Amino acid sequence: MIASSIRGGWQTTLADLAMILFMVTAAAMAERPEPDADAAASAATPTEAPSPAPALPASGEPIAIYRAAPGAPPIGQWLAEQPRDPRQNLTIIARHRPGGGDRAAAAALALAQEARRAGRSARIVVEPGPAEELAAVLDFDGRQPN
């Protein structure tokens, strides 16, 4: 008979194994490869769900994310619902497929003008991406807001 001096027994071992499985799964999900551009472009549709959070060009952590989508409230209303802090920055991110840069820039500028009417200035980032996306991010990234 093997005597164990550790209390908890099989429950502790099972909890440890569950935590290890969770960490391995999370690491594998973070490292999964991106789909090739041709497959992503052909599979993307306007009704495709956007990614959970846009990759940010800033170094700060987002505190709130707005997505311009059908049925979404106007950005002015969304901004009014957010806690106000003078250290916050608003970044508008417009992603576009090849050839859609002008349309994405115009949409981002229109969203920035709405934000300006709500009393917030914004920086605009327009970049190519696998799908069209327009989002605004409130963050604290160390920049000095205007």
Q: Which long-range contacts (CB under 8 A, 24 or more apart) does 38-42 make?
A: 40/130, 40/131, 41/97, 41/130
Q: The tokens of 13 are what?
A: 């071992």
Q: How far apart are CA 62 and CA 70, in angstroms?
A: 22
Average pLDDT, the chain: 78
Whether the model pTM is above 0.75 = no
> Cα angle at 64 between 60 and 70, to 5 degrees?
130
Contact 101, 29 (CB under 8 A): no
pLDDT over threshold 50, residue 45: no
On the question of pLDDT at 103 being above 50, the answer is: yes
Q: Are 140 and 88 in contact (CB under 8 A)?
A: yes
pLDDT at res. 131: 87
Contact status, residue 131 vs residue 97, Cβ threshold 8 Å: yes
Q: Who wins on pLDDT, 108 or 86?
A: 108
In residues, how long is the chain?
146
